[in-house]
Structure 1
Amino acid sequence: MVKINQILLESSEKLKGHIEYEIFQHNIMGAIFFKYLSEKIEKENNKKLFKFNINYKEAFEEENIDFYGKTIKKESLENLGYFIKPDYLYQNIISEEGILKKLDDAIKHIEFQKESLNDIFYNVNFENIHINDEIKNIFESILKNINNLEFKNKTYDELNYLMEFFLKKSYTPNEISILLSKLVTIEKNTIENVYDATCGSCSTLMILKEEVNVNNYFGQEINRNNFNLARMNLIMHGINPNNFEIYNEDSTTTRRDLPPIDVVISHPPFLKKWEADEELLKDERFNTYKKLPPKSKADYAFIETMIYPLNDEGIMAVIMSQGVLFRSNAEKDIRKTFLKEKNYIDAIIGLPEKTFNKNIPTCIIILKKNRNKNDGILFIDASNEYDNSSHLNKLRKEDIYKIVETYKNKEEIEKYSHFADINEIKKNDFNLNIKRYVNTYEEKEKINIQETIKEINDIEIKIKEIKLEQKELLKKIDINLS
């Protein structure tokens, strides 16, 4: 069985330098996705048709289409969210001649129940690769190899590798996504609605499926390529298109009327610039805080955008640069509103350095709306416990477990966590710098100067004695030799 990582490594090696990276990305990802859709719909319908001693292809033959085919199409649209006629399945085209043009034509015949998915193959054009016969032949061999992929019980590792390969440095490390999902699902079995205002490929949201049942996914993503990856990723994880809505837009300047959100989980881009137009102060998401975050840093704009639709019993976990905890000016005023008037911040967790490709101090901020005005904040400094065997520092299973248990139990651990009441935070002028609350300083062992001098003197005396012994020994050797 061919693995996704084999396909990606082989195709990138053979096509590198011959085609532009974006064309490579669109078409390889498009082919893998098309293969997934084709295999899924054929397998699911063959299972249903088995008891009638007929298969998917035969169901659409002229004598069967009225009795079987039309029903199968209706059920596929309802249950899978899409329909592909047998003649247009990836696996049925790939062995034919002129596959590039035929695959392009087949994509146009895929029907989605949800109209917003009709553009999901908008940047896929297999004939675009036909630069010359050599590249055409290489690309066709890669497409045929993709046909050997099997998607039965596809592991998250392979799909994560796929997203990481295409997202490169903007991909959230898997162990961080796992930590976020565990923090927001404590004592939960089901989540109705989840939301990420900067969802990327939705890989972070997908990790939630490993912890609890999730009914509906909502996301916004400004980058068109990532927006497309997100929709493909959700479908390839078995999410029915009727259970997700992803928008291609800037979430800070475009407010969606979302349903009440139970869980927000997000990794916004660090220190991103944003529009910060004064007109946005009329927006309900921002006017509560009286000031807009600075144009140079959209961090609080993302926080305000995502806390707004969170329901009163909901929970939000967001990765931020630690600068949001202590920076001054407008951000300080917004932070004070969060703490004095809203008191939404439940916990702050410092992460190890070099956890992300951008080596800046980072943290996870956990927010809730159902807190009392005088509730304190749990500070956890998890920056010193990690695996440093690769180019990025990684949280180990035991590190994740310790963070989650400490948060769950609101536990105080020396040099690791501290529960600060609101008065302590006020005394610090609403500065939330983790180091102010968790003292991780390790006092060095004191040196006894007098004892050290005595040890040095003793060593010097011993050296003199050895030198004298050596001198006497050499004299004896000289006498014996003569």
Structure 2
Amino acid sequence: MTDTNTYQAQADELSQKLWAIANDLRGQMDASEFKNYILGVIFYRYLSERTEMYMIDLLKNDNGITYEEAFADEEYRPVVEEWSLSKLGYVIKPENLFRNLIRKITKFENDADKFSVEDFEKAINDLVGSTMGHESNKAFDGLFNDMRLQDSRLGETVADRTEMIGRVMVRVSDIDFDLQDSQFDVLGTAYMILIGLFASDAGKKGGEFFTPAGPSKLCATLAALGLDEAKTVGDCTCGSASMLLEVQKHLTTGKVGHFYGQELNATTYNLSRMNMIMHGIDWQNFDIYKGDTLKDDKYGDIKMTVQVCNPPYSLKWSADKQFEDDPRYSGAGKLAPKGQADLAFVEHMIYHMDEDDGRVAVLLPHGVLFRGGAEETIRKYIIKDLNRLDAVIGLPANLFHGTGIPVCVLVLKSKRNGNAGNILFIDASKEFKAGKNQNVLEQKNIDKIVETYAKRVDVDKFAHVAEMSEIVENGYNLNIPRYVDTFEEEETVDLEAVRAEIKRLDVETKNAIEKAESMLQQLGL
């Protein structure tokens, strides 16, 4: 399993190559837009290479026939198309394979064989078109919408756009990364790198779309702890789907029956579907929905074994009275405030928890732990009436791109068994490696937090198992310093020694001034 340190090294190497690609487009359009071309080309390359690998395996017992030969044969072609649709969910024609497009860019022998941006556009349209009328269309429809190959900012003429996109395709073809390596979130990492490299308006809120490796891995590990497999895994604000995919790595068998996600932003909705496919998740085994989770619950009555989430912090929402009848929010008797929808996301996840063994790990701002009003009522409902809150973990500041605030992890369980009478508090605010732009939650930090969570015992200045009586006594205020005393007594100051040192320095200063004045007099100054 790739740890966070190795992951970061891979990400740094990838960032250098992506920067070189991005420089080819610099000045043509806003950075937040041209990153979509890079991601789209990477994804198309993956789909192409996946097709070739599958076809080699499919045709290995057919007398050495190649995919090109099979596709050209009237008897073979319907068969390979049917199998490609059934397994992969799409068809890429041999002439549209990424390596053949690269060949046309770099090695064309005559004008008829010369690459045009329209060739790439047709290849994409053919791919998406092959899914029409097929169940896999839900996974591929509109996936390339953000890569507008006719945009004049790519170039005023077809020739200009061809030259520009051709350079990007060649650069991507030169990147030596294993697109089959499910440990490395290529698209998600690429997205994070690109929004970090370019300080655009879209990039400043990039943390809403992509959770860094450390916090993502921590949430996934906590939520999956002790599970061999999961029937269903969900993320109701899935962004690039990095956290959703991370869960699978922390199940003993790695088996997930079905993945569910929902995402409002159109670009990251496409990115999340790309990411699922690039991680080898068959189109039959995931459903990513586009829409506002709080307003429009696409999950219906689906119950989840594991849920992870990093929702946009302190999001404004309508808190309309109609939601008082929504079964997700009706239990507490009050709606989350208009200016802070944080606990509305928690209520949504609680509603979709599997009653037998549902788990949730969600990243939230510390305000949810102690704010009064409606949020206090909702906290009390979750703790007292539902008894779902299992642990509160405080994390370091400046872990996320776009915000420096410290956040916390709430761990919830539908069946708390022997821990029903207490809540675990962990203060992990000092568990990080300082970084140039943001702090990093390293593997050793994650291990310490998870081990403490698993053991569930008091650790001086780090963790405390609070009985419910303590929670009630504190008025359901969950502010971590109320439960974990991290006070470090300062070293006693010897005032007499300080006074003596000040006197000594005064004498030295006076002597130095007198000596300087004497020297100036000797010089006649």
TM-score, length basis structure 1: 0.89
| Distance (Å, rounded) in 1 between the aligned partners of 2:144 and 2:405 | 36
Please state if 1:442 is matched with 2:442: no
Provide the residue aligned with 2:218 in structure 1.
179
Give yes or no for contact 1:77–1:83 (8 Å, CA) kept in 2: yes
- Contact 1:204–1:266 (CA<8 Å) still a contact in 2? yes
Which range moved further: 205-214 or 242-251? Answer: 205-214
Larger deviation, residues 173-182 vs 119-128: 119-128
Alpha-carbon offset, residue 414 of structure 1: 0.5
Q: C-alpha separation between the residues in 2 aligned to 1:125 and 1:264? A: 34
Kindly indicate whether residue 142 of structure 2 is the aligned counterpart of residue 115 of structure 1. no
Gaps of 5+ in 1: 468-482
Offset at 1:449? 4.6
Work out which of the two has the higher radius of gyration on C-alpha atoms and give 1 or 2: 1
Q: How big is the shift at 1:125?
A: 2.8
Report the equivalent of 1:198: 237
1:154-169 alignment runs, 5 A limit: 154=181, 156=184, 158-166=186-194, 168=203, 169=206
126, 133, 147: which one aligns with 2:149: 126
Q: How far 1:423 moved relative to its partner?
A: 0.5
Q: Which residue of 2 aligns with 1:330?
A: 374
1:273 aligned residue (294, 297, 316)? 316
- 1:363-385: per-residue Cα shift (whole Å, max 9, x none)? 00001121369521000000012
Distance 1:166 1:295, change over 3 A: farther
| Contact 2:456 2:465 survives alignment (8 Å) | yes
Residues 18 and 135 in structure 1, CA contact (< 8 A), matched pair in contact too: no
Pick the aligned partner of 1:222 from 253, 260, 264. 264
Aligned-pair CA distance for 1:22: 4.8
Cα deviation code 1:241-260 (max 9, x no counterpart): 11110111000011221532
Whether contact under 8 Å (1:27, 1:124) holds in the other structure is yes
2:198: which partner in 1? none
Aligned residues: 458
Query: Structure 1 residues 50 and 413 mapped into 2: Cα distance closer, same or farther (>3 Å)?
Result: same
Partner of 2:281: 239
Query: What aligned pairs does 1:17-416 form with structure 2 within 5 A after superposition?
Result: 17-52=27-62, 53-62=64-73, 65-66=74-75, 68-94=76-102, 95=104, 96-110=113-127, 111-112=130-131, 113=134, 114-116=136-138, 117-128=140-151, 129-132=154-157, 136-149=162-175, 151-154=178-181, 156=184, 158-166=186-194, 168=203, 169-170=206-207, 171-212=210-251, 213=254, 214-255=256-297, 256-312=299-355, 313-356=357-400, 357-371=402-416, 375-416=421-462
Q: Tell me how large the CA RMSD over aligned residues is.
A: 2.5
Distance of 1:201 and 1:157 partners within structure 2: 10
* C-alpha separation in 2, matches of 1:446 and 1:4: 51
Displacement after TM superposition at 1:222 (Å): 0.6
Instruction: Measure how far apart 1:72 and its partner are.
Output: 2.1
Unaligned ranges ≥5, structure 2:
1-12, 105-112, 196-202, 512-525
CA–CA distance in structure 2, aligned partners of residues 396 and 90 of structure 1: 37
Change (3 A) 1:5 1:44: farther
What is the CA-CA distance between 1:360 and the residue it aligns to?
1.8
SS in 2 for 1:274: coil
Distance change (3 Å), C-alpha of 1:103 and 1:374: closer
Q: 1: distance between equivalents of 2:66 and 2:115?
A: 26
Distance 1:6 1:384 in 2: 30
Shift of 1:7: 4.8
Q: Distance in 2 between matches of 1:233 and 1:328?
A: 39
Worse-superposed segment, 132-141 or 68-77: 132-141
TM-score for both structures, normalised by structure 2 = 0.82
Cα 1:25–1:395 shift into 2, 3 Å: closer
Aligned equivalents of 1:408, 1:244: Cα separation in 2: 30
Q: Per the alignment, in what secondary structure is the counterpart of residue 73 of structure 1? A: helix
Higher relative contact order (CA 8 A, sep 6+): 2
Q: Secondary structure at the match of 1:310?
A: coil
1:456 CA displacement: 5.8
Whole-angstrom distance in 2 between the partners of 1:106 and 1:456: 80
Q: Is the 8 A contact 1:193 1:262 kept in 2?
A: yes
- Could you tell me which amino acid in structure 1 is paired with residue 58 of structure 2? K
- The question of whether the paired residues in 2 share the 8 Å contact of 1:7 and 1:142 is answered with no
Query: In the TM superposition, what whole-angstrom CA distance separates every residue of 1:429-452 from its partner, at most 9, and x where no partner exists?
Result: 110000100010001122355677
- 2:200 alignment partner in structure 1: none
CA distance in 1, matches of 2:180, 2:236: 29
Spell out the pairing of 1:4-23 with structure 2 (5 A cutoff). 5-23=15-33
Q: What is the deviation of 1:166?
A: 4.8
Distance 1:249 1:452 in 2: 65
Residue type of the alignment partner of 2:144: F
Task: Quote the Cα distance in structure 2 between the aligned partners of 1:77 and 1:287.
Answer: 43
CA contact (8 A) 2:369 2:479 kept: yes
Assess if the C-alpha contact under 8 Å between 2:179 and 2:278 holds in 1. no
**CA deviation string 1:57-81 (max 9, x = no partner):** 111113xx41x33222222222222
